[in-house]
Amino acid sequence: MKIDIKSILVPVDESEPAQHAFDYAMTVAEALKAKVTLLYIVDPAIISADNYYIDYGQVAADVESYKKSADEYLDSLIDAAPKDVSISKVISVGSPSREVYRYADKEHIDLVIMGNSGKGAISSLVMGSVSASTIKHAKCPVLIIK
């Protein structure tokens, strides 16, 4: 068997494991000459979690501002990346547990590299729900980084 890894998906948020996953992905992508897609998912459920009631107009406005800061964050990652790695960025809105594997399947991604716990996790030793869901549902191999 000869594996051919041409496309790597790296779902990120601002967490430390996501940063580690990004660094690791750069090493792998450079060695394998693979293209990297950074995926940032804005989760409206988290944006509205602090409120007692949900004001949908406010959520929509917040989503826009989160998308803007996500875009700046992705640009900062890309700026710090090795110049010989081709990186693109995608920002989408939805539930990360679903969006990561859906995107990977839709775009025929060869490998997902992701941090184990996002911002919501209690500890880095417990598997994050997004990682667990992605391993369970994605058709491609998934590399989990702490």
Partner 1 sequence: MDIKKILIPVDSSEASERAYSYGVSLAASLKAEVILYYVTNATALLYPVYRVTLAETDTDALTAAGKKYIEGLAAKAPEGVKVIPETDIGDPGTFIVQKAEDENVDLIVMGNSGKGAVSSIVMGSVSHFVIHHTKVPVLIVK
Q: Which residues contact partner 1 (rule: CB under 8 A)?
A: 1-3, 5, 23-24, 27-28, 31-32, 111, 116, 125-127, 131-132, 135-136, 139-146
Provide, rounded to whole angstroms, the least separation between the CB of residue 35 and partner 1: 15
Q: Which is nearer to partner 1, 33 or 68 (CB)?
A: 33
User: Between vectors from CA 64 to CA 74 and to CA 72, what angle results, nearest 5°?
Assistant: 20
Provide, rounded to whole angstroms, the least separation between the CB of residue 87 and partner 1: 17
Phi, psi of 125 (to 5 degrees): -90, -10
Q: Which is nearer to partner 1, 34 or 41 (CB)?
A: 34
For tokens 């068997």, the residue is 1
Residue 142 DSSP SS3: strand
Tokens read off for 23: 């660094």
Q: Which is nearer to partner 1, 53 or 125 (CB)?
A: 125
CB 20 within 8 A of CB 77: no
DSSP state of 38: E
Provide, rounded to whole angstroms, the least separation between the CB of residue 96 and partner 1: 18
DSSP state of 128: P
Q: Which is nearer to partner 1, 32 or 91 (CB)?
A: 32
